[in-house]
Amino acid sequence: MTGIIKVINSLDDVIHGKATDTKEIIRAEEELGLKFADDYRSYVMQFGCMSIGSREFTGISQQENYCVVSVTSAQKHYNKNIPENWYVIEQLNIDGIVIWQSSEGKIYQTTPNSEPVKIADSLSEYIQSF
């Protein structure tokens, strides 16, 4: 079991979707023109998408507000300064805050009209921070 799966399984307030296969992950990566970080791939393969308490995380889902492709495409439309290899992992729906992950696994936060700020070195570290 990978680190991110252990972290998620250790939490009490997780609701998740269904497991995803490699074909669906590759399709999403191709649609976005990027590669997901290893920890995001592991999370999506095991859980599809999830919420932790009131926080909703993107993944592979038929629901648009959980779909990494839909959410990332929309957010990149609003913020042209986002690197090509970033995808949305969470929209906080507070003051326009969006949480992104780079293909290398680093986690960044953006707000409208500001520079991205690195807030964690991995998805596990980010989830453990709250």
How many separate domains does the chain show? 1
pLDDT at 35: 98
Residues 6+ apart with CB under 8 A from 40: 4, 87, 89, 101, 105, 123
CATH number at residue 18: 3.40.1580.10
pLDDT 10s digits, 69-98? 999 999 998 888 899 999 999 999 889 999
Task: Find the domain containing 107 and state its range.
Answer: 3-128
Residue ranges in the chain whose pLDDT is less than 50: 1
